[in-house]
Structure 1
């Protein structure tokens, strides 16, 4: 019975969404006298349905409920009844599918199918709550979420290995698939054609809603009764400031801005020690060949004069930190001027704000330019000395990448252009060398920071801080402990990750933080769909590792082989590794499965062979991660963007070829795809001797409308000159979208690439812009708030 209700709800909700989209589309043809922004009652159904892939079914399903006198409420009620009638018959045909199966694979597929239909039901039910006036505000979101629903539906059918069972399930789900596709087409067309005037009217009407849609603004009565919203992601994601990473981010921003604007703009690491912060050994997965740590120690002053100077120095650093944060915020939120002069003026304005700091504080910063006053004989610090003094705490900040681009011509900014009050060192900072391309965004890249803040630090009171310390810095310094600590040795509150997740209060609001200490955790972990805003971090991608060995060969559907599954929305993970040890003979064996919308993985590692990383649905961002695998090892139908990641191709099984990606887009209106930006595609050590013998490709089309873009990346010589491979014959070769832009390396040449109709070759900058984070995953609206390093536009 539960299954019947689930399937019924899926189709019912699809019908609702389709009708909502239809009604909203009518706004595009408002009557001239409609001055209050209301929607026209007239509906040209044939015009609306002409943009869909199944126009006849569109008209047949909506014609009984849409006419010249229909209002939104009547249409929604009628559409629900029609959809329920259709679903009842569909369910009757599905009850017998696989019910007599004895094999584990089919039984597992049935369980997976039920779960996926439940997920689709929940998402569609949430979408059905959208008010007509809010639709225009969330066209991009609706397209992503509806694509996710369609993905769950076809994943359900794909789980059946036996051809006859899969075909039977496909037929049962055909109606829901086509209704979903029609709704997606209508919403897509709405976003393309709606006049700007109508958009403004509706945006005004929806003012104040923000991201209340689907649970963004938590705490409202509506959300208290709606359970888990599709996007129960707190719009105040910056509560992550109460976590380890954010406790150092303000300091990191300060030093990052200074070092990024230094003469050589090299990558550096600095640590800043504040008085009255307790010290213990820091832990981190610091890879010294990639990052170097330089500790800068400030001794507690013994007299009032020295203490006053320290306060001034801290005050100045705090001010710069605030300005630095403001610079990043503005540069990411505003459109940078195209001309170099405009860009220099923007930087100049920010510098002038910094220069308003008191003269005494500036002199103290000038003094910091003298190495003999700042750097101790032991540049890396003395751990024993720090441990002996409870009033010292080194906040080790491991900065890598810093600014990802400083515009050409910046050297043209002369010292005379700066205020006379600007000290010499700041003048030097602004007289930077050129040589970088002008279309880069400035960004802060913070990685590898220590991941343990001592229990004692919670004892730091607000009253202990100088009065001039602003409220946000006070909160950062008064860091609270993680909500849960996992440690195999019993030193934490839980010994398994699953136990920590199960202990999350159902009524908890805000971001829930789980710290997983170093160790190898042999367990299968799921962050459930009803658990949003979880932030999980470890001690490093090779120190905190979750491992499993389930595989398709072992009797599990592909999605059920995952070692770790992130289904909750707004999930953030840092410094962890995920492994599936099934090996090449296990065939499909997933290390990480990601389904939650607006998920982020930073400095993580995913290791497997076939189907290592399942980017299943919705929006996902990966930064400074490593993915290892062989066949289709980055696959799924999400809008997934990998930035500054290492893609390591492994030695496959006998007679196997390597396929980096396998995207699963099934509809041309889905805004999904896999984008590798500023990544490196290299062979693992075991493959290196045979890299030119083993066939390795950038990807192949798993589904008909597969979309993959490789841009600004370094491609090794292991990739065959053809670049891309077929899935089966000519399947998808006309409808796929494969493109490359700004790549380098021995495997980046396109003169011998395949010439399929769907292969775009090297695309232009305008087209490539559509696959940058700010556009492709709508990152400007959500990614910045997570505090994750990123470049919203091009990286080169």
Structure 2
């Protein structure tokens, strides 16, 4: 068979697989299978018979479930086939399963128990938020199927992996919200979401397998396989587009000033004035001052750009903490839940101190978020890089324990991380990346940065309880490249979290770092510690991990998509 014909047939097979994947992931936030049937094309939907033999639908289900971790759950979810209209089936599955989750949260005995315990009630509030977000990601995943463009296969798969990785993370966040509650509510919620969690993991595995197949056959874009080609912008067009989007050239739409010289005196009022689902950026200029308020960029208020007069001059401050009775998820001075958010020349802080325990200065839960010349000050859990794709350039982040954590696909370039002295008997830990599924695309990549500490911590010699990071979740993944590391880091480099959790399954790599804390000869020797070569390091650059990094390039912020050898 000619090579081109082989590629075309594989492409058709891949597209068929995508439709089956959509059917599975459509039920990823619910566990009920009543009334949900998964279709196969052609033949008798009830018996699985077709012109190609008996049990064709069963074989198709087995094939599509083969790369998943929960094969039995996968096959059970696809067992009934009583329609050949996949689109109708997916729509019905989404409606049933979303309603199923909401009904479980609203009418279960768990909610009744929560009413008697404020901490449990707060945990349910977190669950409702993140599970509704998961439902939205599933809806737009299926919507993406309908608008599939074979000319942009790589970006298509990258979107699906990002959204499904977020679904898995949000389900885990729901369960984690019960950590500080009493009784067995946590275990009950985990059981309630057990099937949903397995289905979400299965859907992610299928999409990841699709990406692997395309990559392993060196197929590139499916557009190329069908004879299509991408129109490349000329240099002049690219420059015109870049300048049109560059944030330094954008005139403010809204001015915030505490002295009354702007339209608003608070950032919250300015955000409220932004139109939902706008196609254009809304630029908010926040003049110099200390803004004592909690700012939330809600879902739907997309393309918000907040520009201050400098990270030490324009500062937003708060002090909510878990010690103060607020769930970690809601302690952030700024939380971002919308898409295409940009912040520049501004600071966000949480002043709860070491006794506040978990206390966020910034939580980023929106896709394609960019932070440039931003300062994030806190103590424990200063920055929650929660989910989706995020980029940080020329930023400074301070804190004590796990002060950069979360499960986002996040690249930090030219950023400075400053460890502060933790409380008594506590460790100083910079990164706690929370990848919980081996197929998730999430990772923290630190490139051309600096990891240092405040003077009091630098003076502790020899280094004792300060570490680069630890495996917060089983598949925690962090790569540090071309970064200066000061001498406060313990020579072992990485610490444990809970027993042996993640020691064999994490992915921690260091590549050509400098400074007295970068010496690797005494590093821990867990199976998860990886030797990073030049070729491997190149695979952790922005142009590779994001697949489509156009959202960063068009912003005009400083960004290096590739690896520059030192």
Shorter-chain TM-score range = 0.7 to 0.9
- CA-CA distance at 1:22 after TM superposition: 10
CA 1:781–1:63 in 2, change beyond 3 Å: closer, same or farther? farther
- CA-CA distance at 1:85 after TM superposition: 9.1
Match of 1:788 among 550, 557, 566: 557
> Which residue is 1:465 aligned to?
none
CA 1:237–1:650 in 2, change beyond 3 Å: closer, same or farther? farther
Unmatched 5+ stretches in structure 1 = 1-7, 24-39, 211-234, 248-480
CA distance in 1, matches of 2:504, 2:95: 39
- CA-CA distance at 1:101 after TM superposition: 4.2
Kindly indicate whether residue 148 of structure 2 is the aligned counterpart of residue 134 of structure 1: yes
Q: CA contact under 8 A between 2:360 and 2:382: conserved in structure 1?
A: yes
Greater displacement, 634-643 / 735-744? 735-744
- CA-CA distance at 1:87 after TM superposition: 5.2
> Which residue is 1:110 aligned to?
124
CA distance in 1, matches of 2:37, 2:524: 42
CA distance in 2, matches of 1:588, 1:608: 10
- CA-CA distance at 1:793 after TM superposition: 0.9
- CA-CA distance at 1:20 after TM superposition: 10
- Corresponding residue SS for 1:128: helix
Q: CA contact under 8 A between 1:623 and 1:642: conserved in structure 2?
A: yes
> Which residue is 2:309 aligned to?
539
CA 1:520–1:709 in 2, change beyond 3 Å: closer, same or farther? same
Q: CA contact under 8 A between 1:238 and 1:787: conserved in structure 2?
A: no
Match of 2:244 among 232, 241, 244: 241
Q: Deviations over 1:107-132 (max 9, x none)?
A: 32222221212222222212221235
Q: Deviations over 1:642-698 (max 9, x none)?
A: 000111111111111111000111100000011111111111123232264541101
Greater displacement, 742-751 / 493-502? 742-751
- The equivalences for 1:366-765 within 5 A come to 481-506=251-276, 508-690=278-460, 692-760=462-530, 762-765=531-534
> Which residue is 2:166 aligned to?
148
CA 1:683–1:186 in 2, change beyond 3 Å: closer, same or farther? same
- CA-CA distance at 1:593 after TM superposition: 0.4
> Which residue is 1:47 aligned to?
63
CA distance in 2, matches of 1:726, 1:155: 21
What is the TM-score normalised by the length of structure 2?
Answer: 0.83
> Which residue is 1:162 aligned to?
181
> Which residue is 1:200 aligned to?
222
- CA-CA distance at 1:536 after TM superposition: 0.6
- Corresponding residue SS for 1:722: coil
Q: CA contact under 8 A between 2:119 and 2:181: conserved in structure 1?
A: no
CA distance in 2, matches of 1:513, 1:20: 45
Aligned-pair Cα RMSD in Å = 3.3
Q: Deviations over 1:254-301 (max 9, x none)?
A: xxxxxxxxxxxxxxxxxxxxxxxxxxxxxxxxxxxxxxxxxxxxxxxx
- CA-CA distance at 1:749 after TM superposition: 1.2
- CA-CA distance at 1:770 after TM superposition: 1.8
Kindly indicate whether residue 84 of structure 2 is the aligned counterpart of residue 58 of structure 1: no
CA distance in 2, matches of 1:84, 1:109: 19
CA distance in 2, matches of 1:244, 1:746: 37
Q: CA contact under 8 A between 2:111 and 2:121: conserved in structure 1?
A: no
- Corresponding residue SS for 2:402: coil
- Corresponding residue SS for 1:489: coil
Q: Deviations over 1:622-657 (max 9, x none)?
A: 000001011000000001110001111111111111
> Which residue is 1:174 aligned to?
194
- CA-CA distance at 1:198 after TM superposition: 9.8
- Corresponding residue SS for 1:180: helix
Q: How many residues align?
A: 511
> Which residue is 1:776 aligned to?
545
Q: CA contact under 8 A between 2:290 and 2:314: conserved in structure 1?
A: yes
CA distance in 1, matches of 2:207, 2:32: 12
- CA-CA distance at 1:92 after TM superposition: 7.7
Q: Higher strand proportion, which one?
A: 2
Greater displacement, 81-90 / 748-757? 81-90
- Corresponding residue SS for 1:698: strand
CA distance in 1, matches of 2:240, 2:68: 37
- The equivalences for 1:334-345 within 5 A come to none
CA 1:56–1:9 in 2, change beyond 3 Å: closer, same or farther? closer
CA distance in 1, matches of 2:27, 2:61: 24
Q: CA contact under 8 A between 2:242 and 2:554: conserved in structure 1?
A: no
CA distance in 1, matches of 2:193, 2:313: 44
> Which residue is 2:7 aligned to?
none
- CA-CA distance at 1:726 after TM superposition: 0.3
CA distance in 2, matches of 1:11, 1:242: 37
Q: CA contact under 8 A between 1:571 and 1:596: conserved in structure 2?
A: yes
- CA-CA distance at 1:99 after TM superposition: 3.8
